[in-house]
């Protein structure tokens, strides 16, 4: 048994982790080949895989999008501060590792609402000595708390990047996702960026809606949004080229160690926008 498996089993035994139903962070971890998931998570992931055999590839594609965007923000846009909400279980390279490989002084605050991510915060906190990383256990539906905590590490008088990568589709319309994103963006100074990726049913409606039913039957909300609805998250901001696109279309020239799968339908849109 590996150390990771020991950690996973000890957590389950401690009762700190709910292993009776799947959790998005752990299902995603299974797709990415991680070991921090439980039979309920694997069962849902395998159900989705039986519907779409490329689901693991799509999860990796989302992770690669985050990596390309972070490279672009650090190299081209000169961003040195990041607030990443819906971080997920650490998977190397993590956002701070990419940002700090360009600028060791980069500062990153990670946030997730799943207690399993908190148990891995140590991996997220291995910062360069010149920079800083912090972890905040919080729900995006409480933006005031996230902002209050993030201010301890990040300087909100200087530009920063807010990243909501593969997060907003876990918010139903009742969660008022547009108001939440606006409240977070309103707190950012001019010159800051919003990064967002989100599931859509535009490209493969039958498969995505069947997936939504499977998640829903497991008690997890999954809310795909159209191109227009995803674009609405960026209202009032200047979307940088190439716009709101499927993830593989976003600056593929920045790819490192990515593989393509011509059979995969990438049912997520992503974009980066600047606050003027």
Ligand X SMILES: C[S@@+](CC[C@H](N)C(=O)[O-])C[C@H]1O[C@@H](n2cnc3c(N)ncnc32)[C@H](O)[C@@H]1O
Interface with ligand X by CB under 6 A: which residues?
24-25, 28, 62-63, 66, 85-88, 112-114, 117, 139-141, 165-167, 170
Backbone angles phi, psi at 5, to 5 degrees: -65, -40
Least distance to ligand X, CB of residue 276, Å: 26
Q: Which residue's beta carbon is nearest to the bound ligand X?
A: 88
Least distance to ligand X, CB of residue 157, Å: 25
In the bound state with ligand X, the residue whose beta carbon lies nearer, of 172 and 189, is 172
User: Is the Cβ–Cβ distance between 237 and 273 less than 8 Å?
Assistant: yes
Least distance to ligand X, CB of residue 24, Å: 4
Least distance to ligand X, CB of residue 65, Å: 8
In the bound state with ligand X, the residue whose beta carbon lies nearer, of 62 and 248, is 62
User: Is the Cβ–Cβ distance between 31 and 52 less than 8 Å?
Assistant: no
Least distance to ligand X, CB of residue 111, Å: 6
Rounded distance between C-alpha atoms, residue 275 and residue 164, angstroms: 15
How many residues appear in the chain? 276
Rounded distance between C-alpha atoms, residue 216 and residue 219, angstroms: 5
Rounded distance between C-alpha atoms, residue 220 and residue 204, angstroms: 20
In the bound state with ligand X, the residue whose beta carbon lies nearer, of 129 and 273, is 273
Backbone angles phi, psi at 155, to 5 degrees: -95, 110
Least distance to ligand X, CB of residue 84, Å: 7
In the bound state with ligand X, the residue whose beta carbon lies nearer, of 153 and 157, is 153
**Cis before 242 (ω within 30):** yes
Could you report how far apart the first and last alpha carbons of the chain are, in Å? 52
In the bound state with ligand X, the residue whose beta carbon lies nearer, of 191 and 245, is 245
In the bound state with ligand X, the residue whose beta carbon lies nearer, of 118 and 191, is 118
User: Is the Cβ–Cβ distance between 123 and 88 less than 8 Å?
Assistant: no
């Amino acid at each position: 048994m590996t150390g990771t498996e020991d950690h996973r089993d000890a957590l389950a035994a401690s009762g700190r982790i709910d292993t009776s139903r799947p959790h998005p962070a752990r299902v995603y971890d299974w797709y990415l080949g991680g070991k921090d998931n439980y039979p309920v998570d694997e069962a849902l992931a395998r159900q989705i895989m039986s519907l779409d055999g490329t689901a693991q590839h799509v999860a990796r594609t989302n992770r690669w999008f985050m990596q390309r965007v972070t490279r672009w923000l650090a190299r081209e846009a000169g961003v040195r501060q990041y607030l990443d909400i819906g971080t997920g279980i650490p998977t190397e390279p993590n956002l701070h590792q990419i940002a700090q490989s360009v600028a060791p002084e980069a500062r990153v605050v990670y946030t997730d609402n799943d207690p399993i991510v908190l148990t891995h915060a140590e991996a997220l906190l291995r910062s360069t000595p010149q920079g800083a990383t912090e972890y905040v256990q919080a729900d995006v539906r409480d933006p005031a708390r996230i902002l209050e905590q993030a201010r301890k590490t990040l300087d909100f008088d200087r530009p920063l990047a807010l990243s909501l990568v593969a997060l907003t589709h876990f918010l139903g319309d009742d969660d008022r996702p547009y108001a939440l994103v606006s409240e977070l963006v309103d707190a950012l100074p001019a010159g800051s960026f919003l990064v967002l990726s989100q599931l859509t049913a535009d490209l493969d409606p039958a498969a995505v809606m069947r997936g939504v039913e499977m998640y829903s039957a497991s008690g997890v909300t999954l809310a795909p949004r159209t191109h227009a609805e995803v674009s609405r998250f960026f209202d009032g901001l200047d979307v940088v080229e190439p716009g709101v696109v499927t993830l593989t279309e976003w600056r593929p020239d920045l790819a490192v160690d990515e593989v393509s799968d011509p059979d995969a339908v990438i049912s997520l849109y992503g974009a980066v926008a600047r606050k003027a």
